[in-house]
């Protein structure tokens, strides 16, 4: 059985016993809840821990503390906020090995993926200084317009108040922290609901943040399932903004609940890689395999389908088969050189298998994989995938390389834009004008040339269109999402300081 072993540093965040029961963090205290649910590890499909399920009373308390404490972070000078985050970062690095170990066990990540998630989080925190520098204003002289000629204005960025962050299972540590950091740096208090299936690594981070002297109440972490931790929390009128990363269906549901409150929605994707005839096929195959299989394909920016033109199609198939061997599949706890572990649950594996079986039944050729055991779905290669297969349109979120033959560049663009999603895509070509034409034509938020899409530390902004959501994440851009503009107008006429409009040159 997978066991979570934690140092004394984290003794406050759980109730000891044969199975650790993890608490929630409200108002600067670790709180035991009445209800709980089991956390099942994808490594062996067995119970690994018990997770607290917040009640409506717990949610009310968390929101109350966040509202009452928001002045603590809003009134804190920006340089102090930066120093707080930097102190947090330096302390968090001391516990890298423990957090990586937990990520591997609760999320089924290969060590490389778990370490990558931790390192990206630390880098995102380091970039906090750059985030904070985006909180600037604007001076607008009024004499460019006749009706404001004796006025000037300042446009400021103000914190929204209380930000609620809801994070997905695939990057439970990084995505949660990527919501905390800009929220606090821009002067908001924040409540995070980490994913139910793998929240422990983030709860560990909450403990570290508490211990570096973060003011009580500016940060809460609550776990739970169902209507209480979902609808009840998002519908609270004292929540000023909801930042959600997850499925499109849930995102649409949250948007319906949110009403006029601000939302940032980073939703599903159907990342398309277009391979043209003059592409470096070895590079394209290596990147497409990486984009399809990294984290077992459980990424919104994954390469979910590949459109290769018929002139190079057969050669490209051989390249894909070759680079498929780059990934070692198995139990990442038992073998440290495993680069692709299980998917998050048995039900996820079953859903992926249904998509693969549907494609094969409709004429796709299965060249590798296509089998699973418990949460372990083999790296899979589908070629000659017909357009009526469900996997062509539905988000795969699994380790399946799906190859589709197209006639030419125009055919590829047309097929790519038929998707209801619009998050990430990529194009492989060495011709500048072809690359420019494709990248301009694709209806997506992000396009990458000659590499698989990757959001990484979000130094480059990302965000989707269509059913992939709204808003942008990234250094500086997240700050914009978590603030609002306030225009302050000064009438200079009483002090005889304004510029009078004479109209003498008016036509």
Interatomic CA distance for residues 47 and 407, integer angstroms: 50
The closest of 285, 266, 71, 104 to 178, measured between CA atoms, is 266
Contacts for 31 with CB less than 8 Å, ≥ 6 apart: 23, 24, 25, 52, 58
Q: Residue 41 corresponds to which tokens in the numbers above?
A: 């590890």
Backbone angles phi, psi at 434, to 5 degrees: -65, -45
DSSP 265-288: EE----EEEEE-TTS-HHHHHHHH
144 C-beta neighbours (distance < 10 Å), count? 8
Q: Residue 245 corresponds to which tokens in the numbers above?
A: 């990363």
Residues making up the chain, counted from first to last: 507
The residue whose two tokens read 């929605």 is 265
DSSP class of residue 188? -
Intra-chain end-to-end CA distance of the chain, in Å: 85
- Assign residue 455 a region (left: φ > 0; alpha: ψ between -120 and 50; beta: otherwise): alpha
Interatomic CA distance for residues 221 and 190, integer angstroms: 9
Catalytic one among 266, 287, 395, 481?
Answer: 266
DSSP class of residue 482? T
Q: Residue 420 corresponds to which tokens in the numbers above?
A: 């209801």
DSSP class of residue 375? T
DSSP 200-237: HHHHHHHHHHHHTTPPTTSEEE----HHIIIIIHHT-T
Q: Residue 61 corresponds to which tokens in the numbers above?
A: 């308390």
Q: Is 277 a catalytic residue?
A: no
Our measurement of the distance from residue 410's CA atom to the centroid of its chain's CA atoms, rounded to an integer in Å, reads 31
Interatomic CA distance for residues 349 and 373, integer angstroms: 8
Catalytic one among 106, 294, 300, 473?
Answer: 300
Contact 483, 463 (CB under 8 A): no
46 C-beta neighbours (distance < 10 Å), count? 11
Contacts for 32 with CB less than 8 Å, ≥ 6 apart: 15, 21, 23, 52
The closest of 375, 393, 374, 392 to 383, measured between CA atoms, is 392
Q: Is 266 a catalytic residue?
A: yes
Interatomic CA distance for residues 265 and 467, integer angstroms: 10
Interatomic CA distance for residues 148 and 499, integer angstroms: 9
Q: Which residues are catalytic?
A: 266, 300
């Amino acid at each position: 059985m997978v066991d979570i072993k934690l140092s004394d540093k984290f003794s406050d965040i759980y109730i000891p016993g044969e199975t650790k029961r993890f608490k929630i963090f409200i108002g600067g205290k670790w709180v035991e809840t009445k209800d709980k649910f089991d956390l099942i590890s994808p490594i062996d499909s067995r119970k690994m821990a018990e997770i607290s399920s917040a009640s409506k009373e717990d949610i009310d308390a968390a929101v109350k503390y966040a509202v009452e404490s928001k002045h603590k972070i809003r009134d804190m000078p920006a340089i102090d906020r930066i120093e707080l985050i930097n102190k947090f970062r330096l302390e968090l690095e001391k516990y890298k090995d423990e957090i990586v170990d937990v990520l591997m066990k609760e999320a089924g990540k290969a060590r490389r993926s778990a370490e990558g998630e931790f390192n990206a989080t630390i880098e995102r925190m380091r970039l906090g200084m750059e985030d904070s520098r985006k909180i600037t204003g604007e001076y607008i002289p009024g004499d460019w317009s006749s009706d404001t000629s004796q006025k000037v204005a300042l446009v400021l960025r103000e914190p929204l108040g209380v930000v609620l962050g809801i994070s997905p299972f695939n990057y439970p540590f990084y995505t949660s922290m990527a919501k905390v950091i800009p929220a606090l740096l821009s002067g908001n208090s924040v409540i995070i609901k980490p994913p139910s299936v793998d929240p422990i690594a983030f709860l560990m981070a909450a403990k570290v943040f508490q211990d570096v002297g973060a003011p009580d109440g500016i940060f809460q972490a609550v776990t739970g399932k169902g209507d209480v931790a979902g609808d009840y929390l998002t519908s609270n009128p004292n929540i000023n903004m909801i930042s959600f990363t997850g499925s499109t269906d849930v995102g649409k549901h949250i948007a319906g609940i949110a009403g006029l409150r601000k939302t940032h929605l980073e939703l599903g994707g159907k990342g398309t890689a277009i391979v043209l005839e003059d592409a470096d096929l070895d590079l394209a195959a290596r990147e497409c395999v990486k984009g399809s299989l990294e984290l077992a394909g459980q990424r919104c920016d994954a390469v979910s389908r590949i459109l290769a033109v018929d002139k190079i199609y057969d050669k490209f198939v051989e390249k894909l088969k070759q680079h498929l061997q780059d990934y070692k599949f198995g139990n990442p706890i038992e073998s440290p050189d495993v680069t692709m572990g299980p998917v998050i649950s048995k039900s996820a594996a079953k859903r992926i298998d249904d998509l693969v079986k549907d494609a094969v039944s409709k004429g796709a050729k299965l060249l590798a994989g296509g089998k699973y055991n418990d949460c372990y779905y083999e790296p899979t290669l589908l070629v000659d995938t017909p357009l009526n297969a469900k996997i062509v349109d539905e988000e795969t979120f699994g380790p399946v390389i799906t190859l589709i033959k197209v006639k030419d560049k125009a055919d590829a663009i047309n097929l790519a834009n038929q998707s209801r999603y619009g998050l990430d895509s990529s194009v492989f070509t060495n011709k500048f004008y072809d690359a420019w034409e494709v990248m301009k034509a694709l209806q997506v938020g992000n396009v990458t040339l000659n590499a698989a899409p990757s959001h990484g530390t979000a130094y480059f902004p990302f965000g989707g269109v269509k059913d992939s959501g709204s808003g942008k994440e990234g250094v500086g851009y997240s700050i914009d999402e978590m603030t609002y503009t306030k225009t302050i107008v000064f009438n200079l006429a009483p002090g005889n300081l304004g510029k009078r409009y004479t109209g003498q040159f008016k036509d």
